[in-house]
Amino acid sequence: MPRGTFPLRTDNSWDMLSALHGLAILACCLALGAQPAAAREQLVIALTQFPATFHPNINSMLAKSYVLALARRPITVHDKDWRLVCMLCTELPTIENGLARVETLPDGRQGVAITVKLDPDATWGDGVPATARDMVFTWEVGRHPESGFADAESFRRIRAIDVIDTKTMVIHVDRLTYDYSNVGGDILLPEHLERRVFEADPKEYRNRTIFDTDPTNPGLYNGPYRIVEVSAGAHIVLARNAHWKGRRPVFERIVVKTIENTAALEANLLSGAVDYVAGELGFSLDQALGIERRHPDRFTVLYQPGLTYEHIDLNLDNPILGDKRVRQALVLALDREGMVRELFAGKQPVAHGSVHPLDRIYSDRAPTYTYDLARAGELLAAAGWTRGPGGIRVNAQGKRLALTLQTTAGNRLRELVQQVLQSQWRKAGIEVAIRNEPARVFFGETMTRRTFPGLAMYAWLSAPESVSRTTQHSSMIPAAANGYSGQNYPGFADAETDRLIDTIEIELDPARRKELWHRLQVIYAEEVPVIPLYFRSTPFVVPKWLGGIEPTGHLVSTTTWIENWTVRP
């Protein structure tokens, strides 16, 4: 979810350290290394991050979603064609088929009653059936103010759940939204395991959940695989789930290794220490282009455009960033067009907002920022920042215009982007210090608790026409009072934005809804709570022998359909 001609510095000492780090990783990988092509009982996948938690509803992190998609199934999901379909349910609930009906609430508003029928074969990995009681329990935890659920709002708007039988429930929601059929993704919790932990101390539930204290417990998983071994920060081993009633996956077990240094990924893949590098969280675009050029006989490279939005969150509690003129100047000082041309061969488009042009709600009428260093300087001067010693701007008190930029450590391309941004901002008189952290710390603590002091660069993945409540609504600013739920990490609070989000959700007419989306995108562009960089074209470097991988272009990982992956002769 990033532009001119600029010097790119290569630090040879850093390259040597990267190479040594890669060799060290390669050596330690051999014990769990990839198997020769003749024996494919095991698949070894590498990705660049290790999950901060295995709980499906606490914390939002792609690495976790990728791994859990191997072992758990969502109730409903958008498929590769961007259609909403059932996975854990038997039929998508709609007003037309009678599984959803409009309700009039006591205050006169419209709600909706949604009948969900779970797959009769849905079973937890310990043999206990997945039932409507699991959904009731998940709702109880999700709506609790101290549970720490990332999307607690979705559970709070459920008024009641009627259990009809073990596999059937009616969910009463306090508003009729345009996406009412989307019952939920990977949310279901096993009541028979987690209830006692939650009821013992709801405030401490997020720290004591069995998903993290006993992640190899088979009862946590209802998908084709279950987690059988976890080595924190290093690897996760999954084995076939004996109680899975769906299509039998081809691999007996899957090893997911964490290799945080992107330079080491290629060495591991080419040496055979890993079979496949996760497209969603692996090679950068330039690496994929190089592999495609050098090894066309070994790999097929797919370039998937989609809804992955590289961006920079601005902590609006920082007095410097609280001034909109400074925020606008930060964007104007960046030559993002030049950046994507130089770094990505033009294959990744500049983002002017959080909505991709491929998405049906995209508006081309929202303001955009093109590179304008002179205008950036005017805005900074108007905000009280004038050139000082060494060209860095200072205010009337002599304080330097200095900010910190953070991202996930070890990601070579992101670190390169950081250096470009740092150089471009310095031309505008803005001093930026780089301070990176391991992904599990960056996402698990720094972002969740909003402790980043200035700028934080990472990516959001979204579904088609995804309401931005968790990232833009003021009620979704993480804080101790709400158990650090929500994903509005900048701390953006705007009354009109809140009203628009509330209205968009309940507007059923697509044309009127698109006008509301347009206004929301205008505010986002004018207020600049986030600096849009670029939309990723995600490269999938697939070995010739591995089939069945179908990129979606949105937030749902390809591993959601792991049972369809094949081994070609």
DSSP string, 126-166: TSPBP-HHHHHHHHHHHHSTTS--TTHHHHHTEEEEEEEET
CA dist., res. 161 & res. 171, Å (int):
5
**What pLDDT sits at residue 263?**
81
Q: What six digits make up the tokens of 379?
A: 């805005």
**Type of residue at 275:** D
Could you list the pLDDT tens digit for every one of the 569 residues in the chain?
222 222 222 222 223 233 333 333 333 444 444 444 444 799 999 999 999 999 999 987 889 999 999 999 999 999 998 899 999 999 999 999 999 999 999 999 999 999 999 999 999 999 999 999 999 999 999 999 888 888 888 899 999 999 999 999 999 999 999 899 999 888 999 999 999 999 999 999 999 999 999 999 999 999 999 999 999 999 999 999 999 999 999 999 999 999 988 789 999 999 999 999 999 988 888 889 899 999 999 999 988 888 888 999 999 999 999 999 999 999 999 999 999 888 887 778 899 999 989 888 999 989 999 999 999 999 999 999 999 989 999 999 999 999 999 999 988 788 999 999 999 999 999 999 999 999 889 988 999 999 999 999 998 877 788 889 989 999 999 998 888 888 999 999 999 999 999 999 889 899 999 999 999 999 999 999 999 999 988 889 999 999 999 998 888 999 999 999 999 98
Where are the domain boundaries for CATH 3.90.76.10 in the chain? 76-194
**What pLDDT sits at residue 55?**
96
Domain 12-73+204-304+538-567 = CATH 3.40.190.10: yes
DSSP string, 86-107: ESSBSS---TTTTSEEEEE-TT
**What pLDDT sits at residue 29?**
40
pTM over 0.85: no
Q: What is the dihedral of CA 419, 425, 430, 435, to 10 degrees?
A: -20
Q: What six digits make up the tokens of 406?
A: 């953070």
CATH of domain 76-194: 3.90.76.10
DSSP string, 364-432: TTS------HHHHHHHHHHTT-EE-GGG-EE-TT--B-EEEEE-BTT-HHHHHHHHHHHHHHHHTT-EE
The distance of Cα 158 from the centroid of its chain, to the nearest Å, equals 24
Q: Quick count: other Cβ atoms within 10 Å of Cβ 90?
A: 14
CB of 226 closer than 8 Å to CB of 217: no
CATH topology of domain 306-536: Dipeptide-binding Protein; domain 3 (3.10.105)
**What pLDDT sits at residue 330?**
98
Q: Which of 171, 101, 179, 170 is nearest to 143 (CA)?
A: 171
**What pLDDT sits at residue 375?**
97
CA dist., res. 215 & res. 288, Å (int):
33
Q: Quick count: other Cβ atoms within 10 Å of Cβ 341?
A: 17
**What pLDDT sits at residue 3?**
25
Where are the domain boundaries for CATH 3.10.105.10 in the chain? 306-536
Q: Cβ neighbours of residue 170 under 8 Å, at least 6 residues apart?
A: 113, 114, 115, 116, 161, 162, 164
Where are the domain boundaries for CATH 3.40.190.10 in the chain? 12-73+204-304+538-567
Structure letter (DSSP) for residue 445: I
Q: Which of 50, 58, 65 is nearest to 462 (CA)?
A: 65
